[in-house]
């Protein structure tokens, strides 16, 4: 690959990444300005795998975020520990900001996150016990 081809490919990747960056926002019920649904990777205290494509994270004391993965993350529902790698900063506001890392027999398994969403208190209360982080 020539230098020009490399820079063209890198520019295309950056443009696609920037176009896909859309921070998650939640509408305020009172009609006020929207609130960002971001969290710091440092504040994640627990997790629960719903299936091999969905993970619930406990952030702080009362918040739960649902992460939908880009593809299957095999055996994540058997893991006792995961790592969350954030890109750019420790704040995670969209799927592009995070990767979940689990252990596998052949080494670390990286699972890209597609979307994140903060669950409401009613949604958290409705979760089955095994899906509550």
Per-residue pLDDT tens digits for 75-130 = 888 888 899 998 888 899 998 899 999 988 888 999 999 999 999 999 999 999 99
Over residues 10-27, the mean pLDDT reads 39
> With 70 as the cut, is the pLDDT of residue 131 above it?
yes
Determine if residue 82 is left, alpha or beta; phi over 0 gives left, psi from -120 to 50 gives alpha, anything else beta. beta
Per-residue pLDDT tens digits for 35-82 = 558 999 999 999 999 999 999 999 999 999 999 999 999 888 888 889
Residue 126 included in any domain: yes
Residue 62 included in any domain: yes
Strand partners, 91: 40
Enclosing domain of residue 115:
34-131
pLDDT attached to residue 4: 38
Residue 12 included in any domain: no
Residue 24 included in any domain: no
pLDDT attached to residue 104: 83
pTM reported for the whole predicted model: 0.71
Residue 96 included in any domain: yes
Residue 2 included in any domain: no
3: Cβ–Cβ under 8 A, 6 or more apart, which residues? none
pLDDT attached to residue 37: 81
Q: Phi, psi at residue 45, to the nearest 5°?
A: -115, -20
| Count of domains observed in the chain | 1
C-alpha–C-alpha distance, residues 72 and 5, integer Å? 32
Residue 91 included in any domain: yes
Q: Are 55 and 67 in contact (CB under 8 A)?
A: yes
pLDDT attached to residue 2: 44
C-alpha–C-alpha distance, residues 94 and 68, integer Å? 11
């Amino acid at each position: 690959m020539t230098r020009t081809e490399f820079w063209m490919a890198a520019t295309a990747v950056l443009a696609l990444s920037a176009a896909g960056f859309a921070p998650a926002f939640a509408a305020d019920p009172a009609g006020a300005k929207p609130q960002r649904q971001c969290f710091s990777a440092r504040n994640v205290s627990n997790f629960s795998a719903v299936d091999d494509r969905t993970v619930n994270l406990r952030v702080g004391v009362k918040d739960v975020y649902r992460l939908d993965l880009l593809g299957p993350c095999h055996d994540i529902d058997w893991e006792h520990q995961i790592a969350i790698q954030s890109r750019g900063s420790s704040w995670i506001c969209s799927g592009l900001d995070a990767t979940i890392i689990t252990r596998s027999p052949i080494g670390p398994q990286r699972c890209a996150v597609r979307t994140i969403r903060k669950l409401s208190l009613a949604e958290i209360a409705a979760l089955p016990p095994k899906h509550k982080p």
